[in-house]
Structure 1
Amino acid sequence: DTVVYVDAGEIDVVYNVTTEVKVPEGLMEEDLARPVIVISDFETGRAEYEIYTFNRQVVTVPIGDEEQGGRESGVDRIAKDEIEREIRSIARGHVEVELHDSNTAVVWVEENDISTVIGKGGSRISDVEDRLGISIDVRTLADRTSTNGRGSQTGQTQTQAQTQPSGSTRTGGIAVAPEITDRHVVIPIEGHAGDTVEVRADSEYLFTATVSRGGEVQVSRGSAIAEELEGAIDNGRTVTVTPS
């Protein structure tokens, strides 16, 4: 179809309107393909807008505005709004959303909302991720404040910089073998997705974290927590995790 806009008796702009089954502009996952109405400039053939359903809503998304001065693209704004709407329907307290790109985001919630938002075994946040096609990292608002300027925990892991009285040495726990990458210290904890665990070195308390749905805790290198954990690893101390 062709749409002609007329302003004051003059042709202002002419659009071509076509329908395609495709992954909308700005999204990456192939399983997000859907019917998309593409509105293109008649003269240049350049796509200007896309219209499609996103999380049960019909949205109109400008194409190409992500290149203008680093501003959020249309799909980023919509994704951020939809994530916030989904999480607010679950959490009781304050919610903040930080979109890293069109496929990953961080959600900050009150500490007492963490388990509710994540769900048993990470099931609830996984449902939200599947509906939106976006990987979501859930953290506490307190953690956002405490890690500001020191690096942050990533990879769908919410880490609390908590401390216990000096000398606290709860015994037991599951021995783990942390892996140090360029950006993170990764602690694998299979079978405990969504659980809150205490991380210790030779039974000395280090911090508390919520295990990601991928079955691991990731701590960004450069943060105070990561430095303490790396020091324990370098000194040959046994790192253990204990479900709370």
Structure 2
Amino acid sequence: MEVIVPDTSVIVDGRLTQYLRELGERVRVVVPEAVVAEIEHQANEKRAIGHVGLEELKKLREMAEKGEIELEFYGERPELWQIKRAKSGEIDNMVREVAMELKGILLTGDAVQRDVAIAKGIRVIYLEARREVRHRLEDFFDENTMSVHLKAGVVPMAKKGRPGEWRLTPLREEPLTDDEVHEIADDIVERARRDPESFIELDAEGATVVQLRNYRIVIARPPFADRIEITAVRPIKKLSIEDYHLSEKLLKRLTEKAEGILIAGAPGEGKSTFAQALAEWYSSMGKIVKTMEKPRDLQVAEEITQYTALEGKMELTGDLLLLVRPDYTIYDEMRKTRDFKIYADLRLAGVGMVGVVHATKPIDAVQRFIGRVELGMIPQIVDTVLFIKAGKVEKVLSLEYKVKVPSGMTEEDLARPVIEVRDFESGELEYEIYTYGEEISIVPVKKKGEKAPALKLAERKLRQEIKRFLPDVYTEVELVSPHRAVVYADEFDIPTIIGKKGKRITELEKKVGISIDVKSFEERAMEEGPREKIPVEIEEKKRQFVLRVSKDFAGMPIKFYAGEDYIFTATPSKKGLVKVNRNTPIGRELERIVRENLEVWASI
């Protein structure tokens, strides 16, 4: 009886049982203990190939019980260090020794194992066949499917349509079973291992990331997920740069000037599709183009080399690209701080960079760099932002570094480094980025009829400082010029704000660097004149007064009046209520007002 000695490669992808069924004769299958130990280790690490291997071993046992084969486990169990060095050939060597000792035929799907066995004079059969499966991932896709979502116990779902215009559609009425999803997952892993155009990007405890041709697949298993789940994404259409109908002005910038590009947009809006088109356009112009991706899922031409994380680290990939020195690098899916720093390093080294980032607004893409690189370096790193929505280039921003007085400020001594962010097509200034105090701010430029953004920023900064100095005092701030502000407060709080001999207000003025006037809300009301009255109901309770206004004013600071006299300012609750203790200055004043039957009303 012929002795068959399989290695790990033909067990973890189902080729062994398929071969034995097609063989048509009874053989003795000897599985080395080294193979069992490696599969067990992979399964304990929650790796997909480990679970596939265990299922295959169980099928071998079933075949043996039916008398189709003889099954034996043989040899020594390897040490842990040998299992961990399996990729270096330790386990393969133990399998070859078993085949030599038993004078059997080595069954393998590994080309290196085959060649070493031939060199050592071991009989070997190299298998390329695959097992048949009832369900395959491709069965759930059609020409309009963007992604498929398969989970045990749930009806299979698919996103159908195109970026920005899709719907979630059930694919059948019956929920998927655990066996069905496991079978699909095992088939995906098997094909990725043997297909030269596919690869397993990540195989960690409970999670496997696979690039199967043009399908990007994430397999999640317990304990990482509550049940086994497969998410597969596929580009439904490949576009060229001409399909986006970009203006001549923008094409000229992308050709001649733009070398720090960000492609921004929300998930599913078509960022990666545009990145692919831009990469191939640069390549067609005779530029050397590379990509940095994890996982590698951009569908680009063969001329464009796709790099992933070298030894699991994108920093090493960046170091290698500095040696390669491409004209342009497409950095897909920038999310973490290290991604932005790598992008910045490569750009400052002279490499043209195209980064793909998630953002809900165009300016958000620029904001992702703030705090990660020095402010003054941002225009050197990023000069163009392309915002993608519903598969189209909806907006383009350009960045420029200047030393100037920010919009809305008038004094020359307030000049500072400012990053101007403009709408590229119209040239209109939309944002200014600069340092104010200790914080970096992105300030929208003043629209007609609005207060200057710089004054708004200064007001916010002043409110924060006053709140820090006077946490228990309600105030309102109005900045009337870059050097003068008015703080409004209740009459009885003004002495607290000013402090003894003006010490507190002087200290605050030094802190914020501007002159501060203090006025009462009553003074402001007199200056502004009569306002629309808001009805107020007063309810007397044993220990407090309850003032009730419409719920429409909940959360808004409103001013309360008695007759023509201002009383106080307060913010109503969600129910439109303001509660005032009787044993307070305002409570005693309200008691007098109620006793004298004066009209109480409010105003914004």
| TM-score, normalization by structure 1 | 0.50
The answer to whether the 8 Å contact 1:90/1:116 transfers is no
Match of 1:149 in 2: 526
Q: Alignment partner of 1:13: what SS? A: strand
- Structure 1 residue 47 corresponds to structure 2 residue 429: yes
Output one character per residue of 1:184-233: Cα deviation in whole Å (capped at 9) or x when no partner.
xxxxxxxxxxxxxxxxxxxxxxxxxxxxxxxxxxxxxxxxxxxxxxxxxx
Query: What RMSD over aligned residues (CA atoms) do the two structures have, in Å?
Result: 2.9
Match of 1:72 in 2: 451
- After TM superposition, give the deviation of residue 40 of structure 1 in Å: 0.8
Alpha-carbon distance in 2 for matches of 1:2, 1:118:
55
Alpha-carbon distance in 1 for matches of 2:508, 2:501:
5
Q: How many aligned positions are there?
A: 143
- Structure 1 residue 33 corresponds to structure 2 residue 412: no
- After TM superposition, give the deviation of residue 145 of structure 1 in Å: 0.9
The answer to whether the 8 Å contact 2:498/2:504 transfers is no
Match of 1:23 in 2: 405
Task: Mark the structure with the bigger radius of gyration.
Answer: 2
Match of 2:570 in 1: none
Change (3 A) 1:117 1:2: farther
Alpha-carbon distance in 1 for matches of 2:498, 2:432:
37
- Structure 1 residue 105 corresponds to structure 2 residue 485: yes
Change (3 A) 1:120 1:9: same
- Structure 1 residue 93 corresponds to structure 2 residue 477: no
Match of 2:498 in 1: 115
Structure 1 letter corresponding to 2:385 = V
Output one character per residue of 1:99-141: Cα deviation in whole Å (capped at 9) or x when no partner.
33455321124223233398549642431342xxx443223x3
Alpha-carbon distance in 2 for matches of 1:78, 1:107:
16
Change (3 A) 1:48 1:18: same
Match of 2:518 among 138, 145, 157: 138
Structure 1 letter corresponding to 2:498 = S
- After TM superposition, give the deviation of residue 51 of structure 1 in Å: 0.8
Change (3 A) 1:54 1:119: farther
Match of 2:439 among 53, 57, 62: 57
| TM-score, normalization by structure 2 | 0.22
Match of 2:509 among 112, 116, 126: 126
% of aligned pairs identical? 36
Decide which structure has greater helix share.
Answer: 2
Structure 2 letter corresponding to 1:113 = T
Alpha-carbon distance in 2 for matches of 1:117, 1:29:
32
Match of 1:158 in 2: none
The answer to whether the 8 Å contact 1:117/1:125 transfers is no
- After TM superposition, give the deviation of residue 58 of structure 1 in Å: 1.2
If asked which structure has higher relative contact order (CA below 8 Å, sep 6+), I would say 1
- After TM superposition, give the deviation of residue 25 of structure 1 in Å: 0.7
The answer to whether the 8 Å contact 2:497/2:505 transfers is no
The answer to whether the 8 Å contact 1:119/1:125 transfers is no
Q: Alignment partner of 1:86: what SS? A: helix
The answer to whether the 8 Å contact 2:407/2:452 transfers is no
Q: Alignment partner of 1:112: what SS? A: helix
- After TM superposition, give the deviation of residue 8 of structure 1 in Å: 1.8
The 4+ residue runs of structure 1 with deviation greater than 6 A are none
Change (3 A) 1:120 1:64: closer
Alpha-carbon distance in 2 for matches of 1:94, 1:117:
19
Q: Alignment partner of 1:114: what SS? A: helix
Decide which structure has greater strand share.
Answer: 1
- After TM superposition, give the deviation of residue 150 of structure 1 in Å: 5.6
Unpaired runs of 5+ residues, structure 2, are: 1-382, 529-604
Match of 1:217 in 2: none
Change (3 A) 1:64 1:71: closer
Alpha-carbon distance in 2 for matches of 1:71, 1:28:
16
Change (3 A) 1:31 1:85: same
Match of 1:200 in 2: none
Alpha-carbon distance in 2 for matches of 1:33, 1:146:
35
The answer to whether the 8 Å contact 1:118/1:138 transfers is no
- Structure 1 residue 5 corresponds to structure 2 residue 382: no
Match of 1:83 in 2: 462
Change (3 A) 1:10 1:117: farther
Alpha-carbon distance in 1 for matches of 2:431, 2:500:
33
- After TM superposition, give the deviation of residue 79 of structure 1 in Å: 2.0
Change (3 A) 1:106 1:36: same
- After TM superposition, give the deviation of residue 147 of structure 1 in Å: 6.2
Output one character per residue of 1:45-84: Cα deviation in whole Å (capped at 9) or x when no partner.
221100111121111111132x1xx343433322221111
Q: Alignment partner of 2:465: what SS? A: helix
